[in-house]
Structure formats: structure tokens, C-alpha cells
């Protein structure tokens, strides 16, 4: 059987790394509601966009809270993510709204609640969003998806389209128990639908680090993630992201004004935490891109290097 050419191997390795690295697609997911998931999705996206990085926020929650948070009226929309999911021939670019400089939004509307039922039984229903991102994705360095607090067709679409999962959670005992079930869900999707899907880590929201209970829960969570290091589970390599997002009333107030926390209260603890977290994610992505570029260059140089052939003469010829 003929082997792969060196150039083919380089192209394949590059494609595999692109699927796991450049153009980060992050689903913010937790099946428990009220954990600050939408707050994290909106303000993390805004913090990344503040640094001049092209970012797309996709609102997959029928409550349209991420859409409202950015001052976009769901009732006034002519098109939304609903159209993208229900019509496979739809041009997703027509549904994208400019939210802020460097921050675009694929908004939600109330009709999205019916998408769960309407998508059931449709061909390729689980990968409608993934196909849309084949058109939208190349424009953006970061794509963040705000998932609904349930495991239905909308969340499955997000996990099928994402490359990474971030889990916002409070440092409470019951929330910690729920993370185990959530990881099982990610593992099933990775096995059956999206083999590149990984859990990047946990984001602590509404956090109070001064309580013993919170410290104990975080310690247990970090110990669990460390035990998976080097394994084959989708959460191998996951971490607890820092800083934790401190409980802050400004984060609760700003959605009612259609503003991000950076616009509403730029020096509030919540704004400082999200800005630092966004800076960390951007730095992490830059470091990853540099590392991938160096590996690609090494592979290309290795593939281009001439093959050196050493010809050995028989023993009789050398003795003569």
C-alpha cells in the first residue's frame, strides 16, 4: 500500500490543528440555569472584542437574553438564528447584526422556542449551526455560543459546531454534582458527533472566595480536573479559569440598559474580572497560534529537505 506523501501529511496535520486551535469556537454551557452563563457569554465576547479581535456571539437561548443584553430588540428582528437553523439553504450572513465594534451577534427571537420541535426529524438537524459556521467562521477569531439551560437540539447544535466548551458555574456543592452529568454529555457528543470537541475549563461565576464552602468546592473541582490530566477524556487538560467572576450587582444591572458591563460600569469588580479573563484568553490564543505556526514551519522544512541516500559497496569490492 502506498504511503502518504510528506506534503499530504503536512496538510493533514495542519487541518487537524486548525480544527482544534485557530478560530476558537466556544460553547458556554450548563444545564443548570441561573449560573451566570449569559452574563459570561456577553461580557467575555465584549472583552475580547475590546482588544480588537473579531468576535461573533451566537444566542441560542429562546429567552434571547444575550440579544437583549446588547440592546437588540428580538421583536424587531427580521431574521435571526432561527432562520439559520430551520433553512439549510439560508445565507447566515444575512442574519448577523453588528453589536459593537469588532463584535457581531447572531441574535435569537421567541420563535426559537419552536425550533426544538421543528428540527426533530429533519435531515442533518444536529449540524445546521456547524454548516452555517463554515460560511461565517473564517471571518472571526472567536465565536462564542450562549446555550440554553437544557440538553435539546439547540444545545446539540452548539456542541456540534464548537471546538471547546466552557462551563460557567457557581462554587456550590450541587453545582459541582451537575458538572459530572454535563461532562458525560460532552463525552457522548464527542464520541458520536464532534470528535474535536474538548472541555477547555470551568469559569467560576458569582463567586465569593471568602467562604469555606466555596474554597472546598473549588479545591475538589481542581483535584478532579488534575486527575484527568493526560487521559483521553474530552476534559483532559481542562482547568479552572482565573480570575473568578466576583458577585457584583453591576453585572445584574447592565442588561436592563442594553449595555455590557464595560459600558455600564467599567471599573466595577465584574468589569475588571471579565476584562482580565478576556485578556488571558486572547493571550492563550496568541501563544497557541505561534506554537502551531512554528510546528507547521518545521514540518514544511522537514518535508522539503532532500533525502540523503548512502550507498554501501559490497565487502569484496571494498577489500579489493
pLDDT tens column, 138-194: 899 999 999 998 888 999 999 999 999 999 998 888 888 888 888 999 999 999 999
Taking CA atoms, 70 is separated from 42, 242, 254, in Å, by: 8, 25, 9
pLDDT score at 86 = 93
pLDDT score at 213 = 86
pLDDT score at 308 = 58
Q: Band the pLDDT of 17: cuts 50, 70, 90.
A: very low
| pTM for the predicted model, two decimal places | 0.85
- Reference 109, options 57, 56, 62, 146; nearest CA is 62
Q: Is 112 exposed, middle or buried (0-12, 13-18, 19+ CB in 10 A)?
A: buried
pLDDT score at 319 = 53
pLDDT tens column, 80-126: 999 999 998 889 999 999 999 999 999 999 889 888 889 888 888 99
CB of 22 closer than 8 Å to CB of 292:
yes
At residue 146, the 3 state secondary structure works out as strand
Q: Is pLDDT above 90 for 260? A: yes
Q: Band the pLDDT of 204: cuts 50, 70, 90.
A: very high
Q: Band the pLDDT of 68: cuts 50, 70, 90.
A: very high
Residue 38 backbone dihedrals phi, psi, to 5 degrees? -70, -40
pLDDT score at 113 = 86
Amino acid at each position: 500500500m502506498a504511503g502518504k506523501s510528506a506534503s499530504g501529511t503536512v496538510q493533514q496535520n495542519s487541518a487537524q490543528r486548525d480544527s482544534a486551535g485557530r478560530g476558537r469556537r466556544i460553547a458556554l454551557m450548563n444545564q443548570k440555569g441561573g449560573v451566570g452563563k449569559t452574563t459570561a457569554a456577553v461580557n467575555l465576547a465584549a472583552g475580547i472584542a475590546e482588544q480588537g479581535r473579531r468576535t461573533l456571539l451566537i444566542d441560542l437561548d429562546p429567552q434571547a437574553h444575550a440579544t437583549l443584553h446588547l440592546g437588540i430588540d428580538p421583536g424587531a428582528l427580521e431574521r435571526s438564528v432561527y432562520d439559520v437553523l430551520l433553512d439549510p439553504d439560508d445565507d447566515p450572513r444575512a442574519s448577523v447584526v453588528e453589536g459593537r465594534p469588532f463584535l457581531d451577534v447572531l441574535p435569537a427571537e421567541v420563535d426559537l422556542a419552536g425550533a426544538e420541535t421543528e428540527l426533530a426529524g429533519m435531515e442533518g438537524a444536529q449540524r445546521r449551526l456547524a454548516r452555517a459556521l463554515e460560511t461565517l467562521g473564517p471571518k472571526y477569531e472567536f465565536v462564542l455560543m450562549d446555550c440554553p439551560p437544557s440538553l435539546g437540539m439547540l444545545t446539540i447544535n452548539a456542541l456540534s459546531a464548537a471546538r471547546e466548551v466552557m462551563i460557567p458555574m457557581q462554587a456550590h456543592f450541587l453545582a459541582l454534582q451537575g458538572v459530572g452529568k454535563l461532562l458525560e454529555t460532552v463525552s457522548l457528543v464527542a464520541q458520536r458527533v464532534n470528535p474535536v470537541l474538548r472541555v477547555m475549563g470551568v469559569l467560576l461565576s458569582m463567586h465569593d472566595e471568602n467562604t469555606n464552602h466555596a474554597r472546598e468546592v473549588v479545591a475538589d473541582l481542581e483535584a478532579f480536573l488534575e486527575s484527568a490530566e493526560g487521559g483521553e477524556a474530552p476534559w483532559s487538560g481542562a482547568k479552572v479559569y482565573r480570575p473568578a467572576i466576583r458577585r457584583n450587582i453591576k453585572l445584574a444591572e447592565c442588561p436592563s440598559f442594553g449595555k455590557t458591563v464595560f459600558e455600564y460600569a467599567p471599573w466595577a469588580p465584574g468589569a475588571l474580572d471579565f476584562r482580565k479573563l478576556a485578556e488571558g484568553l486572547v493571550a492563550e490564543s496568541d501563544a497557541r497560534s505561534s506554537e502551531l505556526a512554528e510546528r507547521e514551519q518545521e514540518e514544511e522544512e522537514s518535508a522539503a529537505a532532500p533525502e540523503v541516500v548512502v550507498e554501501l559497496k559490497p565487502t569484496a569490492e571494498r577489500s579489493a
